[in-house]
Chains A and B, each alone.
Chain A
């Protein structure tokens, strides 16, 4: 059974290789090759899952050793896979949601001439993401970690002829590289401390080393997580990443890759548990990001960017939970899975709306679409109810548990974190209701809008493909697109309840992550009640602002906060001034320094030392002369050296 683990990765990897090297011959069938291989990988995942379920809880770990990867004296990196409950959960999420999104993309990318390559990249992503979650040591995890970064880079920049897409792709990769530095340093620290970076030995020996070292390792891992999961201060790339095709946003920038940071923290739980200071930083990062993303999500008129803000915020919840330690790990992952369902569903819904609206993304140009796209409306609506935490739906169960756990941290910290999480719930209800109302309800603002406004260029360049600039004719998407949306909506509705009844999910993950019940100053019922109040307030305010009033089709100026939030709370402006401009000045002055100073000084020194001063220019006349002069100089040095050595 262990031998199946490698096949999880091999199937999509094969797909990527075939599709990317296959050439135009495969254009006609490429998308189906990619989709079938994604489903094959899912099938292997299900078989392995059944096998794990057949074992008793303590023995649900399969290991597969493939080969010795980098064997150097004292340094042992192997290609070894570990499939336990934690990685199994991810495998099912990745291959399950991944397969659905492959299917959806068959329809969504139908008119793109480079569809084969798109599926090649998607397969590459699946392979890398699976490698990330089944790796048994940090260096192999790193390969998957950067592999998904590469796939993300290629897919964000899929429409490379658009400068904005190319820039967004580069930005995503660079910001992630800063995070990768953290992962690199963490691995180096582990190697210097433990002599290895394989999961088992490191976690087993955490007790033998000082808290200071563990805190350093944990903080470096957190830096890596911040990059990949778009957490403050490395969050700036996610909004721009919406330049990629919408299925990519759904799969990579909502359901799976961006949650890798949470995986990293939960996987490294043993280290974090022994470094409480680092854990506190994790919770702070999570709390700040959950508010940051939510506020940004409120101000965006671009439907995908509003959802991106939401993703950031929801991952903030997961990071917060992961920072709480054993009390939160299970719920971080549970929220991650339910979020995978409903956020992927929401993005696919957004894609479906755009598909029917000439690829318009500005919600101010939507309105009243529920009549034209009933399936999209219903599935999106269910996703909406799930994310705001409507009682009984997925988000309700997973988010509620996180808020509870935050309060249970105890002390002032617990109150602050809990309050942040509650406030986040209110804002979530607000911005999601806003999206819902602006898109599916109200006036049909797209009528008499023959061309798209040049101020808000669409992320999707379909207009270039079709040459359409006419008034949009909203229509429902084809079955190949709606079926995945329906499946995900089912998951969004029932997932949370299924996991929570009888604490199924808790019992499943507990052997890997451990679990502890906290001591909450407020009862679970109070938390649920407070969450409900927040939800109602958020929905109510949104309804008052966007349901009862007419939505202007050009954005009003807005308050200072709104304007700042539209600009991602000015973080990009800061980056631009400090890093981009500063960097440009630095490199430019260095080019100057290199040309005049370093070159000049070295040339000058060489010239004077060799007694060639003043002759440098003449030397350029030809080979023979320079050689002769140098030989002369050389001979002098030689004689001097011989004399010197005699004297010594």
Chain B
């Protein structure tokens, strides 16, 4: 038996989490370094997966399969296709930056504060989330996926509820109330989604007799497993609902702004760049493969909801006064694009959507982490409290601008490629939908540039006049992300090469072919 690479990639951060938590209270710096090293080692494993994965090989690779709960036919089954590989790489890549950016986020507060901030716990929880997210991307057993899909709520809940920004405009008491509201809201939304999914998971078992994604998909494809139309639709809805909460899709989005606003910037990145991606990933992997007919049946409604997300999220971002809420609504708009790309059911749409997940992760991380550095300097999240920052901290302002330009999908930066692919992939099948979605690019420019203008330009406000520029640690976080944004904007081929074959198989699962252009002008 070969080395269980996929298991190792998930188990390593899990062990790291336990080890970090076990570091004695007095040695918090050691805990931080340990967490950072574990995340780097995990990244090394993820890169190994990337190297070992053969894009032109069989659909699921590096598979592992063991019996687990034999009575229910639950198996410990792992395997990755190109889409999963890309997202595992993204997750492992972002973690060191998240940890480094949050280096001081869980330091004990000044003396006199009543709150207790367990530094070790903070980093252990982050690693725990990483472990669960990675195994969710790897699981090809529906039940196994479900368990970790749900379990990651627990560490996330503590991260949101336990570690907010140090300063808060309404004082510590109000901060703690709002934080726990945000955490509970996050938990309730996702739990309800998860429970509905659990019902559907059980329903699927009743119908199919096992939980294996590959077996069920195969049986469905060759006709040996018949599913009544209504059954398939109900099961699809059960799965989709949970993923739409997590993604999040309008109107199930309202937990995200609260959660991102109240958590520290690195945790906000963890939510939107990593954890939420499990939702969109699962739509591609489970909804489309297990319930192809129902997916097509629901497509019109989902496209409309995605369109609403795009436009509505962007409009709300324009109206925000809180930097983090603004980024949250921008993300809702971007998730609309991802879901649009998935359900347009074209090669460009789905390759674009997968690439979008990766690029959105990097661009949001860049923007949000710099925003976090900014907020930590002034102790306020309100846009109106800033002004003229570019004069005192030009590097911070410059990196913030690049993050913003990536968010508005400037050509030359990575998100442009994916956004355009999604738009064009949607347009070829649903021209009207594609055109309406294009309005998103104007609105994205509006919220990004207004944010930049209000915070960075104009006369220097007194409160920011002594603001230091980016420190070395902060620069180490931001610079590689910016390099990646430029690199993947100019040369996205390494990612598309991995993703394309997986998209091709997904499309053949749902029996969809790309619309043919009426004029064959391409060579």
- Which residues of A approach B to under 8 Å, CB–CB? 20, 67-76, 139, 142-143, 145-147, 150, 153, 157, 160-163, 165-167, 170, 173-174, 177-178, 180-181, 184-185, 187-189, 191-196, 198, 201-202, 204-205, 208-209, 583, 586-588, 590-591, 594, 598-599, 601-603, 606, 610, 619-620, 623, 626-627, 630, 633-634, 637-638, 640-642, 644-646, 648
A143 x B412 contact (CB < 8 A): yes
Q: Does B140 contact A (CB under 8 A)?
A: no
Choose among B312, B417, B427, B520 the residue that contacts A192 (Cβ–Cβ < 8 A): B427
Can you list 9 pairs linking A and B with CB atoms under 8 Å apart? A143-B411, A145-B411, A174-B442, A188-B424, A586-B315, A587-B316, A626-B184, A637-B195, A637-B196
Q: Would A174 and B438 count as touching, CB distance under 8 A?
A: no
User: Are A588 and B412 interface neighbours, CB within 8 A?
Assistant: no
- Closest Cβ of chain A to B36, distance in Å, is 26
Chain A residues with Cβ below 8 Å from B191 are 626-627, 630, 634
The 3 A-B pairs with the shortest beta carbon distances in the complex, nearest first, are: A587-B319, A73-B347, A166-B457
Cα distance A165–B391 in the bound complex, in angstroms: 14
Which of B347, B423, B449 interacts with A173 by CB under 8 Å?
A: B449
- Decide if B514 is an interface residue (CB 8 Å cutoff): yes
Which A residues lie within 8 Å of B352 (CB)? 72
Q: Which of B458, B460, B522 contacts A166 (CB 8 A)?
A: B458
B interface residue count range (under 10 / 10 to 19 / 20 to 34 / 35 or more)? 35 or more
Indicate if the CB atoms of B410 and A606 lie closer than 8 Å. Answer: no
Once the chains bind, are A163 and B188 in contact (CB under 8 Å)? no
Distance of A157 Cα from B397 Cα, bound (Å): 13
Q: Are B411 and A147 in contact (CB under 8 A)?
A: yes
B497 is an interface residue with CB less than 8 A from chain A = yes
A161 touches B458 (CB 8 A): yes
Q: Is the CB of A619 within 8 A of B493?
A: no
CB–CB A638/B198 < 8 A:
yes
> Known contacts A143-B411, A205-B519, A630-B191; can you find 16 more A-B pairs with CB under 8 A?
A70-B492, A71-B500, A72-B351, A146-B412, A160-B458, A166-B458, A178-B442, A193-B519, A208-B521, A587-B315, A610-B192, A626-B188, A630-B195, A634-B191, A638-B195, A642-B206
B331 within 8 A of A: no
Q: Is the CB of A170 within 8 A of B450?
A: yes
CB distance from A194 to the nearest CB of B (A): 4
Asked whether B421 lies within 8 Å of A70 as measured between CB atoms, the reply is: yes
Contact residues in A for B118 (Cβ distance below 8 Å): none
CA distance A634 to B519 in the complex (A): 54
Are B251's CB and A602's CB within 8 A?
A: yes
- Residues of B within 8 Å of A184, CB to CB, are 420, 423, 438, 441
8 Å CB contact of B195 from A67, A192, A204, A634: A634
When the two chains form the complex, which single residue of A204, A594, A637 contacts B199, counting CB atoms closer than 8 Å? Answer: A637
Residues of chain B with a CB closer than 8 A to A606's CB? 188-189, 192
Indicate if the CB atoms of A602 and B351 lie closer than 8 Å: no
How far is B319's CA from A586's CA once the two chains are assembled, in angstroms?
9
Q: How far is the CB of A418 from chain B (nearest CB, A)?
A: 36
Query: Shortest Cβ distance from A642 into chain B, in angstroms?
Result: 6
- B251 in contact with A620 (CB, 8 Å): no
Answer whether A72 and B347 are a contact pair too, CB < 8 Å, given A188-B424, A205-B521, A637-B195.
yes
In the complex, B468 has a CB within 8 A of chain A: no
Contact of A194 among B318, B446, B517 (CB under 8 A): B517
Report A627 CB to chain B, min CB distance, Å: 8
Please give the distance in Å from B166's CB to the nearest CB on chain A.
23
Q: Are the C-beta atoms of B251 and A601 separated by less than 8 Å? A: yes
Interface residue? B63 (CB, 8 A): no
- Bound together, the chains give a CA A265 to CA B202 distance in angstroms of 60
Contact of B521 with A204 in the complex, beta carbons under 8 Å: yes
- Cα–Cα distance between A73 and B180 once the two chains are bound (Å): 46
Shortest Cβ distance from residue A388 to the other chain B in the assembled complex, whole angstroms: 38
Give Cα distance in the complex from A600 to B420, angstroms: 35
Chain B contacts for A147, CB-based, 8 A: 411-412
Contact B203 A641 (CB under 8 A): yes
Q: Which residue of B lies closest to A141 (CB)?
A: B411
Shortest CB-to-CB span from B421 to chain A, Å, is 6
Q: How far is the CA of A587 from the CA of B523 in the complex (A)?
A: 46
Does the CB pair B449–A192 fall under 8 Å?
Answer: no
The 8 A CB mask of B8-23 against A (1 = contact, 0 = none) is 0000000000000000
Query: Which A residues touch B460, using CB under 8 A?
Result: 161
What mask results when residues 480 to 495 of chain B are scored 1 for a CB within 8 Å of chain A, else 0? 0000000000111100
Encode B423-443 as 1/0 by CB contact (under 8 A) with A: 110011001001100110110
List chain B positions with a Cβ less than 8 A from chain A: 157, 161, 180-181, 183-184, 187-189, 191-192, 194-196, 198-200, 202-203, 206-207, 228, 230-231, 250-254, 312, 315-316, 318-320, 347-348, 351-352, 388, 390-391, 398, 405, 410-412, 416-417, 420-421, 423-424, 427-428, 431, 434-435, 438-439, 441-442, 445-446, 449-450, 453, 456-460, 490-493, 496-497, 500, 503-504, 514-523
Contact A161 B457 (CB under 8 A): yes
When distances are taken between beta carbons in the complex, the residues of chain A under 8 Å from B318 are: 583, 587
Kindly list chain A residues whose C-beta atoms are within 8 Å of the C-beta of B457: 157, 160-161, 163, 165-166
User: Complex Cα distance A341/B109, Å?
Assistant: 64
Looking at the assembled complex, report how far the CB atom of B254 sits from the nearest CB atom of chain A, in whole angstroms: 4
Q: How far is the CA of A70 from the CA of B316 in the complex (A)?
A: 32
A633 to B192, CA, bound (A): 9
Residue of A whose beta carbon sits closest to that of B257:
A594
Distance of A67 Cα from B487 Cα, bound (Å): 14
Best-surrounded residue of B161, B445, B503, B520 (most CB of chain A within 10 A): B445
Across the interface, A73 reaches (CB within 8 A) one of B181, B410, B504, namely: B504
Contact check, B206 vs A646: say whether CB atoms are below 8 A apart: yes
Chain B residue contacts of A166, Cβ below 8 A: 453, 457-458
Residues of B within 8 A of A191 (CB): 424, 427-428, 517
A72-B352, A192-B428 known; A626 and B189 CB under 8 Å? no
Report A21 CB to chain B, min CB distance, Å. Answer: 10
Are A196 and B161 interface neighbours, CB within 8 A?
A: no
Inter-subunit contact A163/B421 (CB<8 Å)? no
Q: Is the CB of A185 within 8 A of B438?
A: yes
Residue numbers in B under 8 Å from A626 (CB-CB):
184, 187-188, 191
Instruction: Assess the A648–B347 pair: CB atoms within 8 A.
Output: no
Residue in chain B with minimal CB distance to A598: B251
With both beta carbons as reference points, the residue of chain A lying nearest to B181 in the complex is identified as A620
Given contacts A73-B347, A170-B453, contact A67 B491 (CB under 8 A): yes
A640: which B residues are within 8 A, CB to CB?
199
Q: Which residue of B lies closest to A163 (CB)?
A: B458
**B309 smallest CB distance to A (angstroms):** 12
Identify the closest chain B residue to A157 (Cβ).
B457
Cβ-defined contact, B254 with A599, below 8 A: yes
Least Cβ–Cβ distance between B457 and chain A, in angstroms: 4
B410: chain A residues at CB < 8 Å are 146, 150
On whether the beta carbons of A73 and B351 are closer than 8 Å, the reply is yes
With a cutoff of 8 Å between Cβ atoms, the chain B residues found around residue A645 in the complex are: 202-203, 206-207, 231
Give bound CA distance, A163 to B184, whole Å: 41
Cross-chain contact A181 with B442 (CB below 8 angstroms): yes
Chain A residues within an 8 Å CB radius of B421:
70, 72, 75
Among the listed B231, B412, B441, B522, which residue makes an inter-chain contact with A196, where contact means beta carbons less than 8 Å apart? B522
Q: Across the interface, which residues of A come within 8 angstroms of B194, CB to CB?
A: 634
Please give the distance in Å from A53's CB to the nearest CB on chain B.
Answer: 31
Residues on the A chain within 8 Å of B199, using CB: 637-638, 640-641
CB distance from B382 to the nearest CB of A (A): 14
Specify which chain A residues have a CB less than 8 angstroms from the CB of B411 in the assembled complex. Answer: 142-143, 145-147
Residues of B within 8 A of A170 (CB): 449-450, 453
Chain A residues with CB below 8 A from B161, complex form: 623
Which residues on the A side are within 8 Å of B438 (C-beta)? 181, 184-185, 188
Chain B residue nearest to A76 in the complex (CB)? B522
Contacting residues, chain A, for B423 (C-beta < 8 A): 184, 188
| Complex contacts, B519 vs chain A, CB 8 Å | 193-195, 205, 208-209
Residue of A nearest to B408 (CB): A177
- Which residues of the other chain, B, contact A620 by a CB distance below 8 angstroms? 180-181, 184
CB distance from A158 to the nearest CB of B (A): 11
> Are B228 and A648 in touch, CB under 8 angstroms?
yes
